[in-house]
Structure formats: C-alpha cells, structure tokens
Amino acid sequence: MNPDHSQLILAYLDGTISGEELARLNAVLLESAEARAELRSWAAADVRLRELAADGAYAAPMTPSRPQPGAGKMVSWLDRGLLRGLRLPLVTGLAAGAVLTSVVWAYVLPPAVEPIPVLAELLVDSFETGAAPGNRGVPQEFRIWSGDHAELAPEKAGLVPRTGAWMLRLLRSDWEGENSPLSHVGDQLQVIDLAAHRAEIESGRVVAHAEAWFNQVAPETEEELAGGVTLFAFARDPRPYRGENWKAWYEGHLGLSGQQQERTDLDSATWERVAVNMALPTATRFLVVHIRINRTKPEPTAVPVTFAGSYVDDVKAELLLRPAANVAAENPAQ
C-alpha cells in the first residue's frame, strides 16, 4: 500500500478529489500496475463497507439524522432487476422468488403499532363484475386490469374462489405482442389516478396499502410458485409509456413498496395473503397496483411460462392517513 496512492484513490472514491489531484491519479494509474491493483482493492473495500453499513450488522449510534431517499437496505441489482422486469419478464423471473421473500425498500414503513385510519378505498376486486383482464401490457385506462395473459375463472379442480364465484387466473408470463423469450412471471397491473387526494398526499401523511390473496392448484406439477404485490408511486401518468419505454416507466417512479411475496402452497384449500404498505411521496399523483405470480426457482426458459393453475382473489388497495402527530415525531427537523 503506497500512502500517496492511497490518499488519491480514497479521495477519488469518496468524491472529494480535485481536478488537479485527478490528473495526478490518472497519470499514476496509467503507469503503475501496482497503483491500479490498489485502486481495485480499495474499490472492493468500499463496496463491502457499504454492504456492512446497510446490513446494520454492527449497530451504529451515529446514523443520519433524517432518513435519506434510498437509505436503508442496499438496493441490489436483483431488486432493481425485478422492478424493470415487470416489463422485462426475463429479469423479473430471475429475480423473483428464489431470492426475495420480502425486500425492504425506500419508503417502506415499519409495521404500524396501531391501525391507521382509512382515507379512501381505491380498489376492491373479487373479480365478480365479468370485466376480463387485458393482456396487452400496461393498462391504458384507469382502474382496469391489464398485463400478461390472464382470465376470469370459476371454481376449478377443487379450488374455490376465496370470495364470490369468480377469481383471476394468471395464465402466462407474456403479454400479447411481447417478444421476450425468457419470461416466467405473470403480471397484472392497475393504474389509479390519485388527483382527488392530492391535498392529503401533499401533507406527507398518506400511506398506500394493497393486498391480494393467492392460491395454486397444480397437483401434477412440482413447480414452486410465489404470489406477490407491489405498489408504485408516480408523479406523472405512467400509462403512455409502453413497449420499450416500459423501462423508463419503471425507472421513473417516485417510490415503491417492498416486493412482498409469499410462496403459494400446493393446498388448494388455503389462500395465501400478501400485503404491502408504502408511505406516499408528497408529489405522488398516480398509483400502480401490481400483482404477479412467479417461479421460485427461476431457470432460463425458451418460451414464456404457462402456469398450470395460479389464481388471485380479493385484491384491495386503499389510502390510509397517518396521524399528524406521528409524522411530525418522525421528522422533527421539518
């Protein structure tokens, strides 16, 4: 370890290096293989230290005074890949299930000690209306399900809808017109306009909640699947972004909930509930409720997956209004 090199390298990695120092560092690195090896070593240390800090393995009393956007558990590529994968099922598939059961994200709330009062009911759907879900990707209308191939289904092979006579069956991991060859996640989404709740959202007190119930009947297959729910908050209407622009769509979110998911057991008599909460950023104007089914052991597939028997019922989304005193106590500097 060369002290002069270390000083320059650490300043570079810390983002405190000056232009003159950077020129010196460039010259050193261009000439010295030893210096380059040292930079790589410091870079690996930088990554590991950030991981240790994010893991909270060693409790530190000196934490930032206010939560920073993106603070908390480190966002891994798996997590972000999962988000992008809503359009790119190949990535969704690889990310979901096998690794994630409950990914914590920015804006995810700690469990509430007391129930939070309901501000507005946004979505209550047990799929009894006869409105078939869309299969052409991102919904183009508010409050309409659309995404991958899906259908309304009655009782089948002993699996009874949790409520009413109908439930949603997620059929395949691709949507009409999609060309992805490596898909194994079935998605359905709803876009909800929150204009009517703008004032409350701007107060910083609104929490979005969503939940869905999942079940599976596939005695002939040993494939393990998981059902999941995610919420996305947007400042702008996300519906116009389709096709290749879905990537921008999902990168453009203001906030998102945890990627909550639960493995669906093979007992058709039991339904598994998945629920998420998300404190809405004050600029939120649109909410996306995303439900999905995915393999828990992703493997590359040559063709999109056809799910043998994966069902969703009783999807609910609502806005909750946190007491002003609680919010103020959490943000004393504001």
Partner 1 sequence: MQLLARHEPVIRGYLRSLVSRAADVDELMPDVALVAWRKFSELREPEAFPRWACVIARYEALRFRRDRARDRLVLDEAVIAKLADEGAGETPLRARQMAALEVCVERLPAERRELLLACYATEAAIKDVAAQTGRTVDGLYQLLRRIRVDVQRCVEGTLKQEASS
Binding residues for partner 1, per CB under 8 A?
Answer: 1, 3, 6-7, 10, 12-17, 19, 22, 25-26, 29-30, 33, 36-37, 39-54, 58-65, 68, 70-71, 74-78, 80-81, 84, 88, 90-91, 94-95, 98-99, 182, 298, 300
Cα angle value 58/59/64 (rounded, 5°): 120
Residue 243 has which token pair? 């096709």
Q: Which is nearer to partner 1, 193 or 224 (CB)?
A: 224
Q: Which is nearer to partner 1, 195 or 302 (CB)?
A: 302
Q: What is the CA radius of gyration of the chain?
A: 23
Residue 222 has which token pair? 């040993």
In the complex, least distance from residue 8 CB atom to partner 1, rounded to whole angstroms = 11
Residue 241 has which token pair? 């972004």
Q: Is the dihedral of CA 181, 187, 192, 198 positive or negative?
A: negative
In the complex, least distance from residue 86 CB atom to partner 1, rounded to whole angstroms = 12
Length of the chain equals: 334
Q: Which is nearer to partner 1, 1 or 196 (CB)?
A: 1
The label of the residue with tokens 């999109």 reads 304
Q: Which is nearer to partner 1, 40 or 236 (CB)?
A: 40
Beta strands in the chain (DSSP E): 118-125, 146-147, 150-153, 167-172, 185-193, 206-216, 225-234, 255-256, 260-264, 272-279, 286-295, 306-321
In the complex, least distance from residue 78 CB atom to partner 1, rounded to whole angstroms = 6
In the complex, least distance from residue 91 CB atom to partner 1, rounded to whole angstroms = 6
Burial of residue 195 (number of CB atoms within 10 Å: 0-12, 13-18, 19+): exposed
Q: Which is nearer to partner 1, 9 or 254 (CB)?
A: 9
In the complex, least distance from residue 14 CB atom to partner 1, rounded to whole angstroms = 7
The label of the residue with tokens 């703008």 reads 198
Q: Which is nearer to partner 1, 27 or 118 (CB)?
A: 27
In the complex, least distance from residue 294 CB atom to partner 1, rounded to whole angstroms = 12
Residues in a beta bridge with 211: 275, 316
In the complex, least distance from residue 43 CB atom to partner 1, rounded to whole angstroms = 4
Q: Which is nearer to partner 1, 199 or 333 (CB)?
A: 333
H helix or E strand, kind and range, residue 93: helix 89-95
Q: Which is nearer to partner 1, 3 or 130 (CB)?
A: 3
* C-alpha span between 105 and 322 (Å, rounded): 19
Q: Which is nearer to partner 1, 58 or 220 (CB)?
A: 58
In the complex, least distance from residue 30 CB atom to partner 1, rounded to whole angstroms = 5
159-177 burial, b at 16+ Cβ within 10 Å, e below that, comes to bbbbbeebbbbbbbbbbee
In the complex, least distance from residue 334 CB atom to partner 1, rounded to whole angstroms = 15
C-alpha distance across the termini of the chain, in Å: 45
Phi, psi dihedral angles at 67 (to 5 degrees): -60, 135
